[in-house]
Structure 1
Amino acid sequence: MAMRLITKECEPTLTDQQVIQFCRDGYMELPSAVSKDITDRALDYVAENPDYAVQPVPLLNESWFTDGLIFAPVVAGAVRSLLGAGFGLPWMLANHIGKCPDSKPLGWHVDGGNMHTWALNYLQVFCLMQDTTEEMGPTEVLPGSHFILGQSALVTHYGAIRGAKKCVGPVGTVFLTCYPIWHRRSKATATGTTRHLFKYNYVRNSPPTRDWIIEPDFNPGRDTKAFSHLQTGATMLRRNKLDNYDAAHMYLWLCGRQEEMRYVGGMAWPMLDDMLDGQAEEVYGAPPSLSTTPDAWRPEAPLI
């Protein structure tokens, strides 16, 4: 029997700045998005059904689970903003079980089937099934690494990396991530406990378009600081500020305007606008769809 993609309709809840933040960092944290009643019930199922402890896929057929975790309003609205109308729901579900203590962290890796692209057709999602601390050896992700072309065999030897983000927080916290982001299980020093992390994916089922919440007081053609990794406190991972350009490219792809992306270089969009100091309404070379002068001449430059 052929699998039928189940889809979801809801309203987008993210703003332009939040969408740009996801493009820049490759992940988004949604604290306490799922209620403890749902996570406790799911863990009870895992304990009572050891054959499905690692892949509790039957939970996807339970309305209390899909309504409370997969369709949790905060999560669904964010997913709708990033993957568009009628996004596809998970058909696989994994439970990453971390026994504590464990002195050896897992190597950095990207999951199989990843593609390094500005297109966003998948979201890889982690849900904390209990209050999770650094001592429990949580998953950690490397912000910005979703743009770095590096397969697992080339990155697994790295140890601690400055700027890495540990996925910790209260029970029910959800992390939306870009599928090719570098991640690993960290070292666990806690004792007498077992960590559970549910992992699943949503998929795109409609063309990208800028139909999330548009902020009237924010202009992505002018307010280019939002694209910079300098806003997160993490160091840039590559030379020549390519992180800024890739974040802007993904944002334009999500707007359905990828053809407008040009690597003009120099101080052109999307470089930082500090030097403008109110002297201009927009950054040189801003994409027409984000510009106050959409018909103005723009420099020729290659797509990257």
Structure 2
Amino acid sequence: MSKVERHHLLTAEQMAHFVTDGFLMVENVVPQHLNTAVLAAEKSWQSSGSNFWHQTEVLRQVFEEPQVKGAIQSFVGVNPGYDHSFLHVVPARQLKAQEWHADSIIDVRPYAFDVQAFYFAHDAPAEMGPTLVLPGSHLRKTNTSSIARYKNIVGQRQLVAKAGTIVFMHHGIWHCAQPNRTDQTRYVFKLRLRPGQVQRGLFNTDDYSSPEVSQIIREGYQTWQGNEARLEHMQRARLWRYVTGDDKVDVSFENALTRMSILA
């Protein structure tokens, strides 16, 4: 993957939202002519969803768009590794929801992460059942479906999207598909990529230490985190140090990372 110009990379504000929420929704990033072509390919697809990426050239063109490449490089670098992909198809009037789960089963990396791109080639309103995510859950590691016993969690967000939207997710985020209550089939394509280099300073780091950007992480508490909210905040602060490449930047609660620098 060729390197993009700096202005196509994610901003510090966008990366701060990703570190805080575990996902970043980038709207209107894919031109409509590509959306139309990909949707036609999705509707006519007869093979396994795992083959769609390899056999659909127009889909691969989507990920060559400068802003899309810039986002990917901001997360996983210039030469990411392909992990897997799948075309998810939810039929019309499919009223059963998917169970809460996280996709990463075995992962002992303290900071590094895979990124998952969920691409919507058509509008996906709430009644169509686009993916439900739990903001901030990406740093609370769980074993796939061990969270399947939960139903609704305070703070959950449905990824209602317009055609041409790509949602980039941290591999650890809790998520689940929702019922499709419409008469139309819902499609979403998922691509997962591994980092091709150490994930430090890959985005546009201008203003990464500004008060405005720091505040995004400092105020990123979620009600569902309960008594562990400050511990979750510390994990965000440590991940921010990692992605910025600055081991001294401190957006932690009461600057705890600085006070405990020997142990951090």
TM-score (norm 1): 0.75
* Equivalent residue in structure 1 for 2:230, among 224, 241, 254: 241
Identity in percent: 20
**Shift of residue 223 of structure 1?**
6.3
Checking the alignment, whether the CA contact within 8 Å between 2:100 and 2:145 is kept in structure 1 is no
1:224 and 1:133 map into 2 onto residues whose CA distance is 32
Q: Which residue matches 1:73? A: 66
1:29 and 1:11 map into 2 onto residues whose CA distance is 21
1:228-267 equivalence runs, <5 A = 228-230=218-220, 234-235=222-223, 237-238=225-226, 239-257=228-246
* Equivalent residue in structure 1 for 2:177, among 158, 181, 185: 185
Residue 11 to residue 242, structure 1, CA distance change in 2 (3 Å): farther
**Shift of residue 186 of structure 1?**
1.2
Q: Matched residue pairs, number?
A: 261
SS of 1:17's equivalent in the other structure is: helix
2:174 and 2:30 map into 1 onto residues whose CA distance is 25
Q: Which residue matches 1:275? A: none
In structure 2, runs of 5+ residues without a counterpart are none
Which letter does structure 2 place at the counterpart of 1:195? R
1:99-248 equivalence runs, <5 A = 99-115=91-107, 117-190=109-182, 192-216=183-207, 219-220=209-210, 224-230=214-220, 234-235=222-223, 237-238=225-226, 239-248=228-237
Checking the alignment, whether the CA contact within 8 Å between 2:53 and 2:60 is kept in structure 1 is no
* Equivalent residue in structure 2 for 1:82, among 71, 75, 79: 75
Checking the alignment, whether the CA contact within 8 Å between 1:126 and 1:199 is kept in structure 2 is yes
Deviations 1:125-157, CA, capped at 9 Å, x for gaps: 101121101101111111111111222332001
In structure 1, runs of 5+ residues without a counterpart are 1-6, 262-267, 273-283, 288-297
Residue 206 to residue 102, structure 1, CA distance change in 2 (3 Å): same
Checking the alignment, whether the CA contact within 8 Å between 2:202 and 2:243 is kept in structure 1 is no
Q: Could you say which structure has the higher helix fraction?
A: 2
Q: How much is the aligned-residue C-alpha RMSD, in angstroms?
A: 2.8
Is residue 270 from structure 1 mapped to residue 252 from structure 2 by the alignment?
yes
TM-score (norm 2): 0.85
1:99 and 1:87 map into 2 onto residues whose CA distance is 35
